[in-house]
Structure 1
Amino acid sequence: MSTQPAIVVTADDLAPQAVELLQGYELVYAGKTPSEEDIAALCRRHDPVAILVRYGKVGALAMDAAPHLRVISKHGSGTDTIDKVQARARGIEVRAATGANAAAVAEQALALLMACAKSVPQLDARMHAGHWDKATHKSLELGGRTVGVVGLGAIGQRFAKMAKGMEMRVIGFDPYAQNVPDYIEMVDLPALWRSADVISLHCPLTEDNRNLLNAETLARCKRGVIVVNTARGSLIDEAALLAAVRSGQVASAGLDSFAVEPMVQGHPFQRQPGFILSPHVGGTTTDAYVNMGVAAARNLLAVIAGSAAH
């Protein structure tokens, strides 16, 4: 049994730079796809002072199994997989690695937007099958079009800057945004739905915005709108989006996150024209992996140091 205090890592690895920062602790890895029960079992066995969350959910089960738990630190910016109400009730701090993966996720959103507007996957598949569609294909030019950015934190603002660089008109909605650059025109949601040629989601998931894009809001959008989501899958009512793509109300959807992950075989988005999909990898570039690991490690060390000082 190690004499070092334990940290449970809900993954099977962590960037070496983060491991180096945590060298005074025993790191206990939960594996690639840990369940809540797996995480709780490790907490019972090792009584960690911290949980570093990459995958899986952390709720009351794990918290109650770790009486000395001081902090739950997210390897990323979204903390919706952590039960913050239960953490607060137990005096456990929750920290996020805000901004550590902003460049990576914003670039993924741009890649999905470009793939949708220029039909990149479809043309690639046709070319590999021996076709030459020059005479029949028309793609969408983005310069001069309006992109509606929902959520203007580090990721949303970075994406907006790239869209502005392509001479798109940028409108945005975020009631909590601070220091918004002047090239983003702030609007309310009804105006954003009405005006945007492209909608890109960059907000955290809350109970208030679950299914933000649904049958009603999609019907208010321009016909042929492009939808991009690199935030959280449950921001979108997936059945409503499927119907909107099939009807042509949504021209195409570029999605990196889904209501249930990993996506199960037979999901209706699979093999459905109009969907360009990636497996929630927007934040997992080589650089972001290091940045998020280091930020998560520093966040939990700061909380533990603060607890020790009191």
Structure 2
Amino acid sequence: MNPSLIVTGADLAQQALDLLGGYEVIYAGKTPTEDDLVALAKQHDPVAIIVRYGKVGAAVMDAAPSLKVISKHGSGTDTIDKVAAKARGIEVVAAVGANAAAVAEQALALLLACAKSVVALNARMHAGHWDKATHKSLELGGRTVGLVGLGAIGLRFAKMADALGMRVIGFDPFAKNLPDYVRSVDLDTLWREADAISLHCPLTEENRGLLNAATLAQCKRGVIVVNTARGGLIDEAALLDAVRAGQVMAAGLDSFAVEPMTAGHPFQGEPRFILSPHIGGVTSDAYVNMGVGAAQNLLAVLAKAPATA
């Protein structure tokens, strides 16, 4: 009988499944709860879990005594309890960079949509208006974009911003050997100098609420905020106040503190918020890249793990 692995999702790219031919793959569905995952873990005792949706905490790990590796279908591992995993000798791995192009392109799309009023002008045009005489867009060339996080996604975005003629500054205490078009700065400098800010860092307890009333007040009036990373990086109430007050010209957001966003969220109906449902990494190419990366990573861990009796 083949060892089993659980996918916290409803599917996996065929190219990834081809790599996992020696394993029984069990799907948890698109919206698995912790109880769902605990039940599946108890039933199948997987050696590996591929995390797409939902959270994997200590209860799930304890329900799977044979579990050796938790592999993220993507780069962000904040939905995995890494402390609990380490305590149990379970390795956590991520498909870093597998969706870098997709997410960086989404960040650029949101930045351009904010600067060029794409959504508002589209709505006006469909309503029969022609605002050429009254509308002025923002030109990005020559302006400064500040990137928080200079990993695979942040650097991909930096390259595109540089191609637009933007000045690129960035903060990342772990980044090394940066390209010459990225100037490393501290956060105070970034808030002070950036005309647009784009977040590309993982969410940690240390940076939760990084963009808040105090830091937004340090920014230039009329700054653009883009977030394709994690919603918890932003104090959403403070951002709403800053946009309404004009301190932030517009916000392009692909991630939110609570997902999925539910009806009645304060951002809904606000004209200077451009919103997308955390789909930055959801492209056909990234789907394959993340699946293959997750499969390769877990196979590498299992290859070096001692066999169970």
Q: What SS does the aligned partner of 1:262 have?
A: coil
- Which whole-Å CA distance do the structure 2 matches of 1:309 and 1:190 have between them? 51
Partner of 2:156: 158
Partner of 1:216: 214
Q: How does 1:61-80 map to 2 (within 5 A)?
A: 61-80=59-78
Q: How does 1:87-126 map to 2 (within 5 A)?
A: 87-126=85-124
Q: What SS does the aligned partner of 2:305 have?
A: helix
- Which whole-Å CA distance do the structure 1 matches of 2:141 and 2:51 have between them? 39
Q: Which runs of 5+ in 1 are unaligned?
A: none
Partner of 1:15: 13
Q: Which of 39, 42, 56 is residue 40 of structure 2 equivalent to? A: 42
Identity of aligned residues (%): 76
Q: CA deviation at 1:308?
A: 3.5
Residue type of the partner of 2:21?
A: Q
- Which whole-Å CA distance do the structure 1 matches of 2:124 and 2:273 have between them? 16
**Which stretches of structure 1, 4 residues or longer, exceed 3 Å deviation after superposition?**
none
Q: CA deviation at 1:155?
A: 0.2
Partner of 2:302: 304
Q: CA deviation at 1:37?
A: 1.4
- Which whole-Å CA distance do the structure 1 matches of 2:177 and 2:63 have between them? 41
- Which whole-Å CA distance do the structure 2 matches of 1:37 and 1:70 have between them? 20
Q: CA deviation at 1:309?
A: 7.2
- Which whole-Å CA distance do the structure 2 matches of 1:40 and 1:224 have between them? 47
Residue type of the partner of 2:193?
A: S
Partner of 2:187: 189
- Which whole-Å CA distance do the structure 1 matches of 2:88 and 2:278 have between them? 31
Q: What SS does the aligned partner of 2:304 have?
A: helix
Q: CA deviation at 1:121?
A: 0.7
Taking only aligned residues, the RMSD between alpha carbons, in angstroms, comes to 0.9
Work out whether 1:252 is the aligned partner of 2:250: yes
Residue type of the partner of 1:28?
A: I
Residue type of the partner of 1:184?
A: V
Q: What SS does the aligned partner of 1:38 have?
A: helix
Q: Which of 273, 285, 296 is residue 283 of structure 2 equivalent to? A: 285
Q: Which of 173, 194, 199 is residue 171 of structure 2 equivalent to? A: 173
CA deviation profile, 1:176-211 (whole Å, cap 9, x unmatched): 012211110111000000000000000000000000
Q: CA deviation at 1:104?
A: 0.3
Q: How does 1:22-61 map to 2 (within 5 A)?
A: 22-61=20-59
Q: 2:32 touches 2:54 (CA, 8 Å); kept in 1?
A: yes
Residue type of the partner of 1:301?
A: L
CA deviation profile, 1:13-36 (whole Å, cap 9, x unmatched): 000000111111110000001111
Partner of 2:81: 83
The TM-score normalised by the length of structure 2 is 0.99
Q: What SS does the aligned partner of 1:27 have?
A: strand
CA deviation profile, 1:258-294 (whole Å, cap 9, x unmatched): 0000001110000012100000000011000000000
Partner of 1:275: 273
Q: 2:222 touches 2:248 (CA, 8 Å); kept in 1?
A: yes
Aligned residues: 308
Q: Which runs of 5+ in 2 are unaligned?
A: none
CA deviation profile, 1:131-182 (whole Å, cap 9, x unmatched): 1111111100000000000000000000001000000000000000122111
CA deviation profile, 1:90-133 (whole Å, cap 9, x unmatched): 00000000000000000000000000000001111111111111
Residue type of the partner of 2:136?
A: K
Q: 2:222 touches 2:249 (CA, 8 Å); kept in 1?
A: yes
- Which whole-Å CA distance do the structure 1 matches of 2:76 and 2:176 have between them? 18
Q: What SS does the aligned partner of 1:109 have?
A: helix
Partner of 1:5: 3
Residue type of the partner of 2:68?
A: R
Partner of 1:227: 225
- Which whole-Å CA distance do the structure 1 matches of 2:187 and 2:203 have between them? 16
